[in-house]
Structure 1
Amino acid sequence: MKKIAKLSLATAIAITGFTSSVYAADSISEAFSNGKVKGSVKSYYFAQTFDDVTKDDSSIWANGGSLNFVTDSYKGLVLGTTFQTSHVTSIDDTAGATKSSMDAQGSVLSEAYLQYTYDNTTFKGGRQFVSTPLLAGSGSRLIKEAFEAYLLVNTDIPDTTIVAGLVTKYQQRTDYTTTAPFTTTNTDANGGPGEFMKIGTDGIRTVYIKNNSLSNLNVQFQYADAVDIASLLYVDAKYNFGPAYVAAQYYDTNYDAATTADSSMYGLKVGGNVMGLDLFAGYTSTNDDGDVVRGLGQAAYAHYTATTKTAGASAFAAGTDSYQVGAGYKFGDLKTKVRYSSFDNPTVNADLAETTLNLEYKFTKALTAQIDYSILDYENDTKDATDLRSRLIYSF
C-alpha cells in the first residue's frame, strides 16, 4: 500500500479535516470499512437571571449530540460527514432569550465534504467545520455552527500553512439566528437547528497564512472579502520566551458602503506561568471612526478581551477601550479559569464589567463536565444579570 502524508488541518490551521489512516485503502469498499466513527452525547442546562425584577429570567435544558464518520483515504480521496441533533427537554423562556441560541428541536447534517490530498496540498469542499480568526463556528451550544466552503491548504513552504478559498453558506445554532449583514432572516424558521444560509451576494473569499519559521514566534494573517459588505483583515504575532509570552494583534475593516466609516482595532497581551498558575492580561482599543467587524461565526472572537457570556463583543464598538486580567490553574483533573473584563464605551450607559468563571472536570477520558458562571455589571443597571451554563459531555 502506498504511504501518504497525513495532514492534520485541526492542528495546523484549526480547520477540521484528516485522513483516517497513515496508509491508504486499496479499494473504495475498504475505504468505507476502514472508516472511523466518533461522536458525543450531550446534556446542557443554561440559565440567566436579571437583577431587574421587571425583566424575565430564562432557563433551558436540552439534550442531543453528534455522530461523525470519515472514510479512510482512497487515492487521496476522503469523504466526511457529521450529523447533529438537539432536543429541548425543559424550557422557561417567555422573552425568547434562547430562541436564537439553544432552543432548537431537530437534526441537521452539518458536515458533508469531499477531501483530496496530493503531496502537500489538500482540497476540502462542502459542508464543514471551520475555525480561523475571521471565520469560526462556535461549538458552545448543542448545535455547532458550520460553513459550506471550498478551501485549498498548502504546506510547501517550510513552517508555513496557506489556506485560500470561498465560503458560501453559514449554518447557525438555530433557524431563528440572523447575522446581518452576512445572512438574511430565514422566513421558514420553525424552531429547528440552523439551516445553511447564503452569505451576502457571493460569499466570502479568504486567504489565511500561519508561520512559525522563527524560533518561539508564531504569526497569523487572514484576509476575508465579504462581497458587497466589507473587506476584513486580521494579523497577530505571539512571542514565547521561557514561561512567559507577549502578543499583539490588529483588525481592520473596510466597508463597501461609502456611508459607513472604516475602522480598526489593535490589541496587546502578556502572560506567563508561575508555579503552575497561568496569569494573563489583555488590552484592546477600537478606532473612534466606527465599529470593527470581528468576522463571521460565533467563535470568531480572536481579540484579547474575549469573554464567555457576551464574548466580549462590546470591544468592537467604535471608541471602546477594553482590558482583561485573568488566571488559570489545574487541580488534578479540574481545570479552572477566572477573568475580569472591562469595556469602556464612549456611548452613555454602555460600559460593562464582566466577571467570568470557567470550570472543567474530566471524570474519565470520555466523560467531561463544564460549568461557566458570569456576572454582568452594566453602567445601565437595568441590564445587570448573572449567567450559568452547565454541560455534561460523553465522547466516543
Structure 2
Amino acid sequence: MLEDQTAFPGEPEDRTAAAGRIPAQSPAVGSAAGPAWPDGYPRGYAVVDVETTGLARDDRIVSAAVYRLDARGEVEDHWYSTVNPQRDPGPTWIHGLTTEDLADAPLFTEIADDLATRLDGRVLVAHNAVFDWSMIAREYARAQRTPPVRQRLCTIALAKQLSLPLPNHKLESLAAHYGVSQQRAHHALDDARVLAEAFRPSLHLAVQQAVRLPLHACRPLSEWPEGPGAESGGFFSGRRGWGSRPYGQGWRRSRRRPACPYPNPGRYEPDGRLVQGMRVAISGDTSVDRELLEDRAIEAGLHISSHVSRLTSLLVTNDPDSLTSKVVKAQAYGTPVLDEAAFSHLLRDVAPAPAR
C-alpha cells in the first residue's frame, strides 16, 4: 500500500506537517553566520530506509521509505510503501509487518518505477547505507532493472568524520544527539524521517568544518547468487505463496576461506599477469556479487585478504577516490590498484606459482 503522508493510523493529522519540517540545528550557512555552500556538494539527497525479511543475501524488502531533500537538506517530499516479498515476512517482532499485512501489498516490480523516480539524480543517504543499497540493488537486479543511483552516503561514516560525541553509532543515538524524537522505531517511514532530521544539521556541520562528504560509488548488480530454489528466482511464486525460513538464515552458511597453498610472489606488476599466491583485497561495490568474485579469485589460486597491508599485492576497487580504509592504506603503501573489469579479465589467465 502506497502512502504519501507521514502520519500513522490513529495519529493526529497535524503530525503530518510537523514530520516534514526539520528544525534548524545549526547556524545558517552561506550568510554572515557561516561559509558559502560548497559547489562540489550534491544537489539533492534521497534519505532511504528499508525493512526486510532478514539480513541475508536472498532476503527481500517488505517496506521502503524515501525522504527527498534539496542540496541544503530541506525536505521536498516523502513516500512510503509496503512490499509483498512473496515469502514469509521474517522478523515481524522488529518491523511489525505480518503475512496478513503484506498479502495485498504491491510486488517490488510494481513499485520499482515510483522508487526509481525518487532516487533518480540524488545521493542515497542511509544509516549503514551499504545494507540498504545492497537490498535495493538486489531487488532491482531480480526485476531485471537498473536502479538510478550513482552514489551513496552513510550517516554512520559522516558522524565519524564529524567526530560527533555519540555513545555508539545507532540511529537512536544520532537522533538523541540532535533532539529528534522517534515515534515508531523500525518503521521505514519513521526511520527515514528521523534520519532526514538528523542528516540536515550534520550536513550543515560538514559545510562549516569543510569536511569532504563520505560519498561512495554505487554499482548495480549484474551477477549474483540466489538462495534455495534459484532456478525459480529464489522465492516462492504467487502473490500469496509464502515460504518459511528462520530469520537470518542465509543461503550460504558462514565459511572460512581455505588457506592459499601458494607463497606470496609479491606485488602485481602493471600490465602484467596475476600470479598464484598474490594477496588481493577488494574494496567497495562490485557488479559481480562480492562472494562470487572472491570465490573465482580463490579458485584461480589467489589469496583473498580482508585488509590491506604492506604485503598486499593488489587492491581491486571501482571507487579509487573514496576514503575507505583499504583505499587510504593502499595509497600510503603504494599498493597497485585495478578496477573490477580489469581484475576479472586477468582472472581468466592467472600465471602458475613459481616452482619452489
Q: TM-score, normalised by structure 2?
A: 0.27
Structure with more of its chain in helix, by fraction: 2
Q: TM-score, normalised by structure 1?
A: 0.25
Structure with more of its chain in strand, by fraction: 1
